[in-house]
Structure 1
Amino acid sequence: MNLLIFNFFSIIFISLKLVSASGYQCQGPIKLTPPEDLNKIVYWPSIWNDSMPPVQFATQQNCEWQITVPTGLFATAVFYRDAPTSIGISVEFPNGYSEGLDNNDHYPFIFTSPMFKVKLYKSAKQGQFSFKVTWSKYPDAPINHICLMKGGNPVAQSPNSSITVFTAETNVSFLAFSLKNASHYPLLRQSAIYDGDSTSGNFLGNLYAAMMQGKAVISTGRNLAINTFGLYNLFNYTLYMAQDHSNDQNVLKYEGKNCPSDYKCRVTLNALSGRAVIVTSGNQPEFITGIDNFPDNSTLKIYEGVISTNTLVTTLTKANYQYRLPMELKNTIHQYVLDDKLLDIELSRDVNNGYVTGNPISSASTATIPTSATSAAVTAFSSSSGVSSVSTTSSKFSMTTTNTDLTTIFGLETTTKSSPTRFVILVILFSNFIIFLQENQFML
């Protein structure tokens, strides 16, 4: 018995010595399968555990590990890399998508059936690399069924404890959002998108990969499922949106964005190769506080909800955008659509950021005009017209309007009014037009 114990520890000692001397060999492919006891952790190399530094590997070898994930299970893997950046080490997801591994990135990956791969590429340099894998059964979770209609509004969600199944009339178009803090992006790997109505469907990606690709994930059929595992403990804001694929309008670049709370942020629409859309979502109003260098012959259309003529909030061009901003949007989903070139937009959810150079906030349904430019005209005509409801003491004069030809000039929209009120409005508009010409040194 004593001799057996001595021999066992001798083998362990010799193995450690060989590994530390030249590094381990791993040409493979090396196949790993779940243990009978799913509570057990599988380590590579088997002589290593996560209380130790990663183990050195030998040079000049291409290695591949194939890790089986049976149906009904998912795998969680953590990788420990300490190697020069010139050494390539990557993981390959079940759908063929690959992601490089970085030093000191110990955030978990989640993989679904049937298999994922780990690859180490040939290099003359040495490095250290180890990993651990656990397999788990899917926990019992409620199923949240959501129907998506042609022409219907998209559905945006924060992570939750349910498995959400979207069912569309055609196909499901699924869009992942960025995070408020980019340093947390690796956490989005703890999610899975499935092609179908359950976790047995083919793996389509995770929220991180879907966000990075800059376009929507499209289901092959009418159903798509999303499992965010424990992300609901970390994030309480929108991380994804789904709609019927017919609503996509053949958009080339489709991105969901989250701005830092209560701070301005800049988003870029890149329509150099085709129409680009940026989507934002939240329960608070959103303010467009600025646009830099609006390109010639480009058009920015802003929608609240689905992209359609009925939900179009405003159309901005180089000729009118300065008179429309800042602008407030109040719906929960906003879609910014650029038809050509590049455009930077400054957004905020802080009402105090809605004021730029003293201009009050406008919106699609309310046009705001400074009293200093109109109070004299209002005072002069209010008594003769019989209008007593127009206030000249407020810091701004607001009127509700709908689209007419004046929209192009003033960024205003007009509705049907009584004759006296219409007369006052026309006087106000004419007064502002004269001031605009004077400020821009036009000859009258």
Structure 2
Amino acid sequence: MFWFGFLLIFPVFGEESTQPPLVNACLERQDLNPELPINISKTVSFPNDTNITFLENKGCSWAITIPNNYFAILYINASVPIGGSISVTQSPNHTEKFVDHHVEVALLFVAPSFNLNWFSGNSSKGSIHFTVNWQSFPENMTTQNYTLERNSSSIILDHEDTYTPVVFHAATKVSILCLPGTQREEDTYLRTGIVFDGPDLNSPFLGSLYSIMRSQSQLISTNSTVTIFSIVPIVSHHHVIVQDASMYQNISQIIGLNVNVSAVEIIKINAQSGNSVVFTHNNNPLIDEYLISVDLESGNELQVYFEGLSENQRVATYSTKNNRTHLPQKLQGRLRYYVLSSGNATLSLTRDKWKANWEKAFSGRRGFFTSKYWKSDNKQMRSQQDSFHFIGKEERNATEFRFSYRFLEADLSGDNNIHVVVSDNVQRIHYYDHRTSSEYTNDTEWYSHYGHSISLVYSSINAQSTGFFAEFEIDSASGNYSFWFIFVIVVSF
């Protein structure tokens, strides 16, 4: 019954109190300690007397103690006047402030303590009522353990993965990011996700998943180990991204973005204060992300990374020199990072290939093809590297182009294979390139052929594949015809 009651508590808005109390309600500072031994059924309430007043322009604070192996549930029901506020703080990295007209919210805290602060503003009509209940952590919980290497792929957890403690051991320090949920009303559930600065639940409090999401920054451990645990198991659509912090230095801002499946997202990045990062996550193998356009100032660059921010995970760089020819671009995989080091930029992203015009061929276009999870060192992802690419038109009156390509990386071990086809506008094959472990294994030469479309299929038959990376160029076919036209004239003459 206790847990059911907690699950029903969410932020709501309502009418303000209208009966001004008659006397001062609280002191400037008060200490609130649980009686020992702790009775988990007991709740401490404030105030005990309803006939009280909170004088205007007065502040009150409570320091609330929590023993090891326990957590506290704070429930607040308050009317906050204009200019007033409520704030709750747990050092070192968690503060929430409420200035809504009516506040009703449940919050979780862990050892050793937290502070609750009330300021009445310029009115005596406000009021705050709260309860505190101390609960013990469950016993004999199963712990998950992960090791984070330098330059390795990030570990991605669903919120549900943190219902039991998850311990991360990094080569240097641990960096934690949290992606907002697809349903914003679920963001409050992240308050139950606590990050401990060490190997267990008695380690110092470092922050909450909610504070990470709201801060637009990463949370970094003091040492090489952290523990993440969601105290109350509430289902939500959030993801936690964890990696070794060596790749995430000198970042002034990092923001997680959910890209709408059918819309075009316009993202503005400001890097006036230093490196600014936008990251996106996609766990659906049937959906890809497309970078449609990049508008930025001359001299600035936007860099795109897969899986992490080490140099070997960078896949593309865009500037005013190539942002017209090298886009749109299909960007596959789980995690993409868009990094701007200076100035301002505006990006257009979508997960709809038709809105991206991905299959449209035009003279001067440049780009690349990759396998589904290229750059990932996750074993599960490496078993799902199959991918298909197509650019051009298979219809009458389509324009013919010269399609050029080369493979810079290709895992053709075992039975892995690649098929490249250049066709005309009625699907007749002009050129067919089949690559296996016994053919073209290390061939990085450019190949060029004329047609109306190019398609590429990569099949990863092996249980583990590192995938492939290929560059392509599309140019006008008119140069080919000009040669034959001149040749015919010379022969005729």
Q: Is 1:429–2:461 an aligned residue pair?
A: no
Q: Does structure 2 conserve the Cα–Cα contact (< 8 Å) formed by 1:74 and 1:110? A: yes
1:295 matched residue in structure 2:
297
Q: Which deviates more from structure 2 when the two are superposed, residues 312-321 or residues 195-204?
A: 312-321
1:220, 1:250 → 2: CA distance? 16
2:432, 2:45 → 1: CA distance? 67
Q: Does structure 2 conserve the Cα–Cα contact (< 8 Å) formed by 1:289 and 1:353? A: no
AA matched with 1:118: L
1:188, 1:139 → 2: CA distance? 19
Distance 1:400 1:429, change over 3 A: farther
Q: Secondary structure at the match of 2:246?
A: helix
Q: Does structure 2 conserve the Cα–Cα contact (< 8 Å) formed by 1:313 and 1:364? A: no
Q: Secondary structure at the match of 1:210?
A: helix
Distance 1:339 1:433, change over 3 A: farther
Distance 1:192 1:400, change over 3 A: farther
Q: Does structure 2 conserve the Cα–Cα contact (< 8 Å) formed by 1:158 and 1:232? A: no
1:73, 1:178 → 2: CA distance? 28
2:114, 2:156 → 1: CA distance? 30
Distance 1:313 1:374, change over 3 A: farther
2:445 matched residue in structure 1:
416
2:129 matched residue in structure 1:
130
AA matched with 1:216: Q
Q: Which deviates more from structure 2 when the two are superposed, residues 37-46 or residues 281-290?
A: 281-290
2:358, 2:109 → 1: CA distance? 47
Q: Secondary structure at the match of 2:448?
A: helix
Q: Please list the CA deviations of residues 43-65 of structure 1 after superposition, one character each: whole Å capped at 9, or x if unmatched.
A: 211346xxxxx975233432111
| 1:374-413 → structure 2 map (5 Å cutoff) | 374-375=399-400, 390-393=422-425
Q: Secondary structure at the match of 1:186?
A: helix
1:63 to 60, 63, 66: 60
2:202 matched residue in structure 1:
200
- Deviation of 1:369 after TM superposition, in Å, equals 4.8
- Deviation of 1:243 after TM superposition, in Å, equals 1.0
2:338 matched residue in structure 1:
336
Distance 1:306 1:21, change over 3 A: closer
Q: Secondary structure at the match of 1:22?
A: coil
Q: Please list the CA deviations of residues 357-376 of structure 1 after superposition, one character each: whole Å capped at 9, or x if unmatched.
A: 96799754468355767527
Q: Secondary structure at the match of 1:108?
A: strand
Q: Which runs of 5+ in 1 are unaligned?
A: 1-18, 49-53, 379-387, 402-413, 435-444
CA RMSD, aligned part only? Answer: 3.7
1:65, 1:192 → 2: CA distance? 22
- Deviation of 1:69 after TM superposition, in Å, equals 0.9
Q: Secondary structure at the match of 1:106?
A: strand
AA matched with 2:425: T
- Write 1 or 2 for the structure with the bigger share of strand: 2
1:400, 1:183 → 2: CA distance? 52
1:78, 1:41 → 2: CA distance? 10
1:223 matched residue in structure 2:
225
AA matched with 1:416: E
Q: Is 1:256–2:282 an aligned residue pair?
A: no
- Deviation of 1:283 after TM superposition, in Å, equals 1.5
1:106, 1:398 → 2: CA distance? 68
1:427, 1:121 → 2: CA distance? 64
Q: Secondary structure at the match of 2:293?
A: strand
AA matched with 2:269: L
Q: Secondary structure at the match of 1:209?
A: helix
2:391 matched residue in structure 1:
368
- Deviation of 1:430 after TM superposition, in Å, equals 4.4
AA matched with 1:136: Q
Q: Secondary structure at the match of 1:212?
A: helix
Distance 1:391 1:357, change over 3 A: closer
Distance 1:376 1:264, change over 3 A: closer
2:291, 2:55 → 1: CA distance? 56
Q: Please list the CA deviations of residues 362-415 of structure 1 after superposition, one character each: whole Å capped at 9, or x if unmatched.
A: 75446835576752779xxxxxxxxx96311269999999xxxxxxxxxxxx94
- Deviation of 1:429 after TM superposition, in Å, equals 2.2
AA matched with 2:132: V
- Deviation of 1:234 after TM superposition, in Å, equals 2.3
2:164, 2:324 → 1: CA distance? 45
2:45 matched residue in structure 1:
43
AA matched with 2:312: N
Identity %: 22
Q: Is 1:270–2:258 an aligned residue pair?
A: no
1:242 matched residue in structure 2:
242
- Deviation of 1:247 after TM superposition, in Å, equals 1.4
Q: Secondary structure at the match of 2:325?
A: helix
Q: Secondary structure at the match of 1:63?
A: strand
1:148 matched residue in structure 2:
148
Q: Please list the CA deviations of residues 126-164 of structure 1 after superposition, one character each: whole Å capped at 9, or x if unmatched.
A: 112111222111124321111000111111211122211
1:113 to 111, 114, 137: 111
2:322 matched residue in structure 1:
320
Q: Secondary structure at the match of 2:211?
A: helix
AA matched with 2:83: S
Paired residues, what number? 386
AA matched with 1:128: S
Q: Does structure 2 conserve the Cα–Cα contact (< 8 Å) formed by 1:55 and 1:130? A: no
- Deviation of 1:337 after TM superposition, in Å, equals 1.3
AA matched with 1:168: A
After TM superposition, the score normalised by the length of structure 2 is: 0.69
After TM superposition, the score normalised by the length of structure 1 is: 0.76
Q: Secondary structure at the match of 2:268?
A: strand
2:351, 2:294 → 1: CA distance? 19
- Deviation of 1:97 after TM superposition, in Å, equals 4.0
Q: Secondary structure at the match of 2:62?
A: strand
Q: Is 1:80–2:77 an aligned residue pair?
A: yes
- Deviation of 1:72 after TM superposition, in Å, equals 0.7
- Write 1 or 2 for the structure with the bigger share of helix: 1
